[in-house]
Structure 1
């Protein structure tokens, strides 16, 4: 048997070693198989076979004796005691019932109660709520423990590390430079410093120290008489406190787990709309207010004004009751929460006002109150500072240049932090950014030092920083980021258009301008169960099928 097992394993190893690299078609087929497997419904833990199902649906005929009477209902009674010993009260509660009672010898104190028409579990729960006696029920057996400190171990599933995230949006109008020279021991040097002048700025910092905050909260609950031990590496929390306080700890940990374990699937569309001639002032969003596509005018949307640096409270407050008309003419940054779940409907609407180009379609999952960052692009290094150091010695003066390089990101970045409330509403901190970095040559006249030719970085950035609130599965649109580009073109007659001096009369030049608006559509979906993941996998499989049906270019 051992030899046969070895041969079965060695065979595939030899075949794998001889296999060639996978082709793109094989890779696509493997992806489709994995997605199809994920989209299949998970079988029940105890799924029946076909034979078992047939036997259950068509059982054989047989005579059965009448079954016994159903289990009697819980007996109800009245309990009236005044200053009675606790042990006697507990024993009296189960007297004449089908329950068994075990009372710890250290259980002490007196109980006064007047309960009417209650069952044994109801009476025990009422006494525990008022007097704090701890008990457990194992079937029909009840065990009562004394009011002494107890030790319990809780399991908490969370990352052991702490996370720190920050986002910074600023507008810089210029800078102030200061320069100076100095020398020591035959060495001279020169340097300069720059201070940026900021007209507006928003800085958001997110500190996520779950285990530190959990320790502080538990120590506050148990007080000085209790003890809390946390082990982030193993995910174990040990608490020693009184039974009443232990129940508060248990409730707190359950509420914490239900909040931090929730997660959101974030799907975004970053679009660039080349506006038609009739929409040069921006996209007319008021067209959507026609009874078919509703948007929420009272959404709690925080907007960042690039001109004043102010943060507005809500879209309704900023635009007043005339939202449809104002939304059609404003060219500033704003946000709208649409009562639709379809990206296609909004994209079709945008296509009526210009040519739509999809720059990116990122999809990412994030836990509750955890920052998610997605970047697609390149980092190019540019010269940001050039300095020289002169050393004077016996061999003369030696000048050493020093060049400072700094990376500039060119591409699309999306920074989102979701927060889910108990009703399923989602508050999003959104910071999308689209940047294009190009190189520009600058010629600087440095006087006696001559002329300097410096390759500098020129960055065109479209970004916004806002806080919005939206329902589960609804779409948030952020727009108003417009830019204008100019295009110079020349038309010449072949041959004659290139003749010096005369070519001017056989051609013409024209200049055209284009306006475009950047629109970000974001749809958050709360993931509550495995069925939500299965639905997401099915949607992914449908997109792959649609992509495969498209004609392939050679």
Structure 2
């Protein structure tokens, strides 16, 4: 590639361009609106670099096609950009709160005097963590692009807009966003278009980062020798590394460990040395950058709110009590929410909130007016962690320390003798077994660079149906899996077993006149017309 040397100071730009075009042997189209002076010093540099340096000193843009060079002022022109993002706004709000309050109230009076106290002495303690996340991609993008078009120091005031509407200060003919098709059209100079292109490329690259969160929630029933909890130092595995609290990688006060092996079976086998291991859930979530994913596997337990009303006494001097019930429900099970932030160098910051709830028992409504109306309210046991973690792809964080004591009441008695009054307790056995459990949560994020069965999800390809499953789609009335043997629960006479394969003769089509089922149906209809029944 030929190089050019230039050493000029404060000369008109059109004169310099004419000289460059003449020396390079180019056909030059020079617009009359090119103004301004240029100072440039270069030695043996390519033609494209020289034109770019001149364009940065003078407001112009150029087009070089073969031996034809076209130069004109950098006036605004229209260009469209594709932004592939879903037209959706999402808001997330979570609250973890603990409140303890003890208060008294009462009144007292004597002869000629009365003293009352409302509120009395009280003690209240409230601890609350509230997290909020608002994702309105398109409104934020419109605000940012309008600020670029406005120029430095002249960003439009786009505050105070309502959700789903274009900001008032951002409405102009220079910027158009079509959220439904994902098209952004801008009218700007070449320098502004370069800024818009770089900004949109960075935004889409960051918004498309994806991570898969593999979680395993384990409950360990501790053995007698480990009532104080799991001692991680006794594992003797070199790949365990305890991160110090308050190091910035985890929330202070949360025991966090990183395990370098990706084999979950090894982790569970190590935990079995401390007691009985029970896997409560193993969810897997794929989440985009700065988006919240939620997994909810619960059972809605229904109970009733009873509102009793006492009416006037009847003729028998008995009060009439009428009750109105309102159904209520409470979710019992596992709920997990994850919000990741993925940096350009692969660091993953997670906001995780797993919640495990269950029914520990039922309590009777103490309302005295409901003495004849049984009303039991479920008592919910909840274990929950809300934490911020920072990990690398493939590392495993362990959240633990949630220990709980459970008492199992076991009663056994000898028949007949155990039901006798007074002496029945002599033939009754009562055992109160105390079990201590610890809840552990394993989290393993995996960056998904290329989503697909040949990319980041390649390890799951073996668990999915092959191509024939989708190509051989059944017709209406056919089996979904014709290549698999069929063995019904109640096989008719002559049917083959699953090992022998599927026999069409054993399951004839009732609509086929040659089939025994169709013949039986025809015979039944003929006998019904004759007033007789088939043999």
User: What TM-score comes out, normalization by structure 2 length?
Assistant: 0.70
Using the TM superposition, give the Cα deviation of residue 134 of structure 1 relative to its aligned residue in structure 2, in angstroms.
Answer: 2.9
Q: Deviations over 1:129-152 (max 9, x none)?
A: 444533345566554341212222
2:480 match: none
Deviates more, 1:508-517 or 1:432-441: 432-441
Count the aligned residue pairs: 423
The CA distance in 2 between the partners of 1:343 and 1:115, in whole Å, is 62
The CA distance in 1 between the partners of 2:447 and 2:63, in whole Å, is 36
1:211 match: 138
2:76 match: 149
SS at match of 1:294: strand
Gap change, CA 1:402 and 1:217, over 3 Å in 2: farther
1:90 match: 17
Contact 1:378 1:409 in 2 (8 A): yes
The CA distance in 2 between the partners of 1:128 and 1:295, in whole Å, is 57
Using the TM superposition, give the Cα deviation of residue 360 of structure 1 relative to its aligned residue in structure 2, in angstroms.
Answer: 1.1
Contact 1:134 1:147 in 2 (8 A): yes
SS at match of 1:124: helix
Q: Deviations over 1:40-72 (max 9, x none)?
A: xxxxxxxxxxxxxxxxxxxxxxxxxxxxxxxxx
Which runs of 5 or more structure 2 residues have no equivalent in the other structure?
106-122, 155-171, 313-318, 467-488, 490-535
2:279 match: 358
> Is 1:343 matched up with 2:270?
no
Contact 1:162 1:208 in 2 (8 A): yes
Q: What does 1:439-518 align with in structure 2 at a 5 Å threshold?
A: 440-446=362-368, 453-490=374-411, 504-506=425-427, 508-518=429-439
User: Which residue of the other structure, out of 301, 304, 307, is the alignment partner of 1:386?
Assistant: 307
SS at match of 2:366: strand
The CA distance in 2 between the partners of 1:426 and 1:146, in whole Å, is 46
> Is 1:282 matched up with 2:258?
no
SS at match of 1:157: coil
1:429 match: 351
1:415 match: 337
Gap change, CA 1:511 and 1:457, over 3 Å in 2: closer
Between Structure 1 and Structure 2, which shows a larger proportion of helix residues?
A: 1
1:308 match: none
Contact 1:444 1:452 in 2 (8 A): no
The CA distance in 2 between the partners of 1:443 and 1:283, in whole Å, is 39
SS at match of 1:269: strand
Gap change, CA 1:501 and 1:350, over 3 Å in 2: same
1:53 match: none
User: Which residue of the other structure, out of 129, 134, 139, is the alignment partner of 2:61?
Assistant: 134
Which runs of 5 or more structure 1 residues have no equivalent in the other structure?
1-73, 179-195, 304-311, 313-317, 319-332, 392-396, 546-553
The CA distance in 2 between the partners of 1:236 and 1:345, in whole Å, is 50
SS at match of 1:513: strand
Contact 2:239 2:259 in 1 (8 A): no
> Is 1:405 matched up with 2:405?
no
User: Which residue of the other structure, out of 234, 237, 248, is the alignment partner of 1:300?
Assistant: 248
Gap change, CA 1:236 and 1:245, over 3 Å in 2: same
Using the TM superposition, give the Cα deviation of residue 476 of structure 1 relative to its aligned residue in structure 2, in angstroms.
Answer: 1.4
Using the TM superposition, give the Cα deviation of residue 530 of structure 1 relative to its aligned residue in structure 2, in angstroms.
Answer: 4.4
2:194 match: 247
Using the TM superposition, give the Cα deviation of residue 469 of structure 1 relative to its aligned residue in structure 2, in angstroms.
Answer: 0.5
Deviates more, 1:419-428 or 1:169-178: 169-178
> Is 1:372 matched up with 2:293?
yes
The CA distance in 2 between the partners of 1:140 and 1:339, in whole Å, is 59
Using the TM superposition, give the Cα deviation of residue 415 of structure 1 relative to its aligned residue in structure 2, in angstroms.
Answer: 0.2
The CA distance in 2 between the partners of 1:432 and 1:496, in whole Å, is 49
User: What TM-score comes out, normalization by structure 1 length?
Assistant: 0.68
1:163 match: 90
Using the TM superposition, give the Cα deviation of residue 211 of structure 1 relative to its aligned residue in structure 2, in angstroms.
Answer: 1.0
The CA distance in 2 between the partners of 1:485 and 1:297, in whole Å, is 31
Contact 1:445 1:451 in 2 (8 A): no
Gap change, CA 1:404 and 1:102, over 3 Å in 2: farther
Gap change, CA 1:494 and 1:219, over 3 Å in 2: same
Contact 1:264 1:527 in 2 (8 A): yes
Contact 2:215 2:282 in 1 (8 A): yes
The CA distance in 2 between the partners of 1:78 and 1:271, in whole Å, is 72
Using the TM superposition, give the Cα deviation of residue 83 of structure 1 relative to its aligned residue in structure 2, in angstroms.
Answer: 2.5
Using the TM superposition, give the Cα deviation of residue 293 of structure 1 relative to its aligned residue in structure 2, in angstroms.
Answer: 2.4
2:111 match: none
Contact 1:133 1:244 in 2 (8 A): no
Using the TM superposition, give the Cα deviation of residue 494 of structure 1 relative to its aligned residue in structure 2, in angstroms.
Answer: 7.3
The CA distance in 1 between the partners of 2:66 and 2:295, in whole Å, is 52
Contact 1:443 1:452 in 2 (8 A): no
Q: What does 1:103-142 align with in structure 2 at a 5 Å threshold?
A: 103-136=30-63, 142=69
Q: Deviations over 1:152-199 (max 9, x none)?
A: 211111121211111111113358899xxxxxxxxxxxxxxxxx9662
Structure with higher RCO (Cα < 8 A, 6+ apart): 1
Gap change, CA 1:400 and 1:231, over 3 Å in 2: farther
Greater Rg by CA: 2
Q: Deviations over 1:57-92 (max 9, x none)?
A: xxxxxxxxxxxxxxxxx1222122222332333343
> Is 1:259 matched up with 2:180?
no
